[in-house]
């Protein structure tokens, strides 16, 4: 269960509130169709669930849309951008693909209808992992530091200002509650805050084991040495159960320490925990459970019991959405 699953769950949790939400993948093999049981998600926006839509942004599609937007005519775009020499030149420009995908994402986040109202209440981007993610977010500032005029400069400046505006943007970091992932996440948090000057929304401790035993039982399990299990007066099946219980208790205790560390260093971010789900494959029901779990922690007034067995959208929600 990784960041794509969490991005999907968070996007669904927004849609469950009646917010028209766009979930964006960035030039990857589509996973949303398997999670939502929907049609394949490509470069055209498709509906995943009520109030939830998905799109997979590729550099090629973003380049075509950007070129046509600037040149006004598709015929002119093809004459310029599909020229073999121009195409070869564009391929070697460092960071161009990332800028195109970021620019397309920014376009959707600021897209308005004929009345001037934002089309999307929420845009959720399944961004690249740590190393590539930093490079991805740095692109606008790199562009504005190299050039000081022209369409690319102005586009990059608008994107940079949007990403730095805490009223519009939040970077959510997902980590496992383990040593190396937590270290990397806290380092990334400082880079985002100090260097990129972008706001952090959530720190998500992912795949958290819930305690399976009472505190005193768990303490007894933790005090057991591996050799002590072999000496127990019980059959092999029961010994196997004790070993599994001991492992589970050790895992819970280890994760607790790293979650406490995240909590102590979260600064202005909100710490969210998501449970470990024992499933061979993730489907919509799992995503829905995660969405409810996330939303219950973000919204103190959220009542998960009202949503667990009910249809995803009740009549009152549909009426509210229709009248808003």
Q: pLDDT higher for 27 or 303? A: 27
Give the homologous superfamily in CATH for domain 3-169+277-309. Answer: P-loop containing nucleotide triphosphate hydrolases (3.40.50.300)
Domain ranges in the chain are 3-169+277-309
Token pair of 12, please?
Answer: 């669904």
Contact between 318 and 48 under an 8 Å Cβ cutoff? The reply is no
Contact between 242 and 224 under an 8 Å Cβ cutoff? The reply is yes
Report CA 57 to chain centroid distance, whole Å: 15
Per-residue pLDDT of 193-229, as tens digits, reads 999 899 999 999 999 988 877 888 878 777 777 777 7
pTM equals: 0.79
pLDDT at site 310: 40
Phi, psi of 217 (to 5 degrees): -70, -40
**12/294 Cα distance (integer angstroms):** 10
DSSP 137-148: HHHHHHHHHH--
pLDDT at site 37: 77
**46-49 β-sheet, strand order:** 46-49, 52-57, 21-26, 122-125
Count of Cβ atoms closer than 10 Å to residue 50 Cβ: 15
Q: Directed axis angle between helix 179-190 and helix 130-146, to 10°?
A: 10
Contact between 13 and 291 under an 8 Å Cβ cutoff? The reply is yes
Per-residue pLDDT of 236-263, as tens digits, reads 788 787 888 888 888 888 999 999 999 9
């Amino acid at each position: 269960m990784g960041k794509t699953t969490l991005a999907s769950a968070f996007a669904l949790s927004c849609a469950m509130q009646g917010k028209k939400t766009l979930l964006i993948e960035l030039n990857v093999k589509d996973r949303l169709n398997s999670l939502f049981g929907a049609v394949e998600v490509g470069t055209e926006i498709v509906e995943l669930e009520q109030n939830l839509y998905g799109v997979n942004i590729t550099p090629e599609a973003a380049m075509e849309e950007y070129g046509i937007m600037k040149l006004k005519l598709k015929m002119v775009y093809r004459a310029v951008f599909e020229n073999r020499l121009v195409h070869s030149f564009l391929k070697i420009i460092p960071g161009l693909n990332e800028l195109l995908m970021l620019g397309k994402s920014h376009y959707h986040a600021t897209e308005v209808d004929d009345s001037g109202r934002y089309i999307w209440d929420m845009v959720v981007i399944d961004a690249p992992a740590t190393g590539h993610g930093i490079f991805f977010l740095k692109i606008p500032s790199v562009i504005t530091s190299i050039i000081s005029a022209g369409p690319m400069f102005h586009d990059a400046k608008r994107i940079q200002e949007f990403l730095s505006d805490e009223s519009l943007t939040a970077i959510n970091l997902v980590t496992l509650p383990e040593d190396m992932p937590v270290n990397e996440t806290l380092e990334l948090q400082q880079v985002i805050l100090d260097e990129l000057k972008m706001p952090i929304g959530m720190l998500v401790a992912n795949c958290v084991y819930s305690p399976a035993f009472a505190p005193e039982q768990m303490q007894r399990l933790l005090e057991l040495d591996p050799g002590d299990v072999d000496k127990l007066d019980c059959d092999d099946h029961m010994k196997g159960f004790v070993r599994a219980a001991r492992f589970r208790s050790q895992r819970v205790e280890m994760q607790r320490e790293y979650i406490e560390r995240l909590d102590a260093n979260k600064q202005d971010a909100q710490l969210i925990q998501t449970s470990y789900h024992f499933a061979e494959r993730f489907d919509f029901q799992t995503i829905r459970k995660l969405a409810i779990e996330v939303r219950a922690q973000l919204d103190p007034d959220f009542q998960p019991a009202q949503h667990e067995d009910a249809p995803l959208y009740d009549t009152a929600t549909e009426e509210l959405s229709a009248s808003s």
